């Protein structure tokens, strides 16, 4: 289609255009997405991020998918904000395993002003290790965004979750505009934006199209777009939600790539339930970032060694670190990290 062949960054997508992309023949859609992907990225490199929960549970929001909501009995134990030393140790381990970005998440509706100095300290310490930093702390005010940016935070994650029309079926304790306001505050502070959504929550294809349209029509595309598959957790209202067709998930990845050509599209939550073939197809469709750790806040994720085995079979390598070091230093550090992973007793080269 003409839209998929155009390299121009657009911020004026219409729902009918997006649905037309979704409903192309599957092979045509994947071909167009792969062509677009190759124009802007190395198709055989994937960016690795690690996500740590720095404050778990007791969130006052009513997000129907979330085990961290205080409104649902999911058996999750509450934890206070981690001490800085624990965060630094986790970041060191993430870097040693090959991650280039360290993401920190707190189950807050929004952070209290008294919490900002402590999370700012975390940002500075993690950056000192040579890692990119990302946080997701809920809604941010203009002042809070500026303070986190001043501390050196590279990315702030705040997902739209779904379309504006379906949003009320998922969350009632904050509005869609609240989420857009936070993204605006983050962007205006100079930080990079990480914003995506969740599919498989009972929404229609038009809602998946609506989500991507909202993201692509922001004044500037998010630099990182996580696409999450619903992880069904006992005790949440969505525990018994019907599975989304895997091909529809891949279509969502591909359309995101076509609409936001220069953004990193992250294969995010739900990977634990995806077989290798589905993950490989997602990379073909334009996904070029993953969370690389055994847990995403409170939900399981494939082990690092499993990911490295799949990468080796597919001929994929981790994207080099984007830090202020020479190319030789970055390459040596990456090879060292991969060597440490491969010497683990559970790792073996796949045949």
- Of 101, 103, 208, 293, which residue is the catalytic one? 103
Q: Confirm whether residue 194 is marked as ligand binding.
A: yes
Sign of CA dihedral 204, 208, 211, 216: negative
- Of 101, 187, 251, 266, which residue is the catalytic one? 266
293 is catalytic: no
Q: State residue 204's pLDDT score.
A: 96
103 is catalytic: yes
Averages of pLDDT over each 10 residues, the chain, 351 residues: 58 96 97 96 92 78 77 68 88 86 85 90 92 91 93 94 94 92 94 95 96 96 94 85 94 97 91 89 94 56 71 89 49 47 34 35
Secondary structure class of 186 (helix, strand, coil): helix
User: Residue 167 and residue 174: Cα distance in Å, rounded?
Assistant: 10
- Of 101, 174, 187, 194, which residue is the catalytic one? 194
Q: State residue 26's pLDDT score.
A: 97
Q: State residue 98's pLDDT score.
A: 81
Q: Confirm whether residue 266 is marked as ligand binding.
A: yes
Q: List, as one string, the DSSP characters of 189-229.
A: HTPEEE--EEE-SS--HHHHHHHHHHHHTSSS--SEEEEEE
Name the H helices within the chain: 2-5, 15-22, 26-40, 84-97, 116-128, 142-150, 176-189, 205-216, 246-259, 276-284, 304-314, 327-342
194 is catalytic: yes
Q: State residue 168's pLDDT score.
A: 92
63 is catalytic: yes
pTM of the complete model: 0.83
Nearest Cα to Cα of residue 149 among 186, 121, 182: 186
Q: State residue 338's pLDDT score.
A: 43
134 is catalytic: yes
Nearest Cα to Cα of residue 267 among 226, 230, 306, 295: 226
**How far from the centroid of its chain's Cα atoms is residue 55's Cα?**
18
Q: Confirm whether residue 63 is marked as ligand binding.
A: yes
User: Residue 190 and residue 167: Cα distance in Å, rounded?
Assistant: 28
- Of 134, 179, 251, 271, which residue is the catalytic one? 134
* Contacts of 151 by beta carbon, 8 Å cutoff, 6+ apart: 119, 120, 121, 123, 124
Q: State residue 337's pLDDT score.
A: 44
């Amino acid at each position: 289609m003409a839209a998929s062949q155009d390299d121009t960054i657009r911020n004026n997508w219409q729902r009918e255009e997006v649905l037309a992309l979704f409903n192309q023949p599957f092979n045509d859609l994947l071909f167009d997405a792969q062509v677009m992907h190759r124009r802007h990225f190395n198709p055989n490199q994937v960016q690795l991020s690690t996500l740590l929960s720095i404050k778990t549970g007791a969130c006052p929001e009513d997000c129907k998918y979330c085990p961290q909501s205080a409104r649902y009995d999911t058996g999750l134990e509450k934890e206070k904000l981690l001490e800085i030393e624990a965060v630094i140790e986790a970041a060191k381990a993430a870097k040693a395993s090959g991650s280039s970005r360290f993401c920190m998440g707190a189950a807050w509706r929004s952070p209290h002003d008294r919490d900002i100095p402590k999370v700012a300290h975390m940002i500075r310490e993690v950056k000192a290790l040579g890692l990119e930093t990302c946080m997701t702390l809920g809604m941010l005010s203009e002042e809070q965004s500026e303070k986190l940016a001043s501390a050196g935070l590279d990315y702030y994650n705040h997902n739209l979750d779904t379309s504006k029309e379906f949003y009320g079926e998922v969350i009632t304790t904050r509005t869609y505009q609240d989420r857009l306001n936070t993204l605006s505050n983050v962007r205006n502070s100079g930080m990079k934006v990480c914003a995506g959504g969740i599919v498989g929550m009972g929404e229609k294809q038009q809602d998946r199209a609506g989500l991507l349209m909202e993201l692509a029509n922001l004044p500037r595309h998010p630099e990182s777009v996580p696409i999450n598959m619903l992880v069904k957790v006992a005790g949440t209202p969505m525990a018994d939600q019907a599975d989304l067709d895997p091909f529809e998930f891949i279509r969502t990845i591909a359309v995101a790539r076509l609409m936001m050509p220069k953004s990193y599209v992250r294969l995010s939550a739900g990977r634990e339930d995806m077989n290798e073939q589905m993950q490989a197809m997602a990379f073909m469709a334009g996904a070029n970032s993953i969370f690389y750790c055994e847990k995403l806040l409170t939900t399981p994720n494939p082990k690092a060694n499993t990911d490295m085995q799949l990468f080796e079979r597919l001929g994929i390598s981790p994207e080099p670190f984007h830090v202020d070091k020479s190319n030789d230093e970055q390459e040596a550090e990456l090879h060292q990290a991969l060597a440490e992973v491969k010497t683990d007793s559970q790792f073996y080269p796949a045949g």
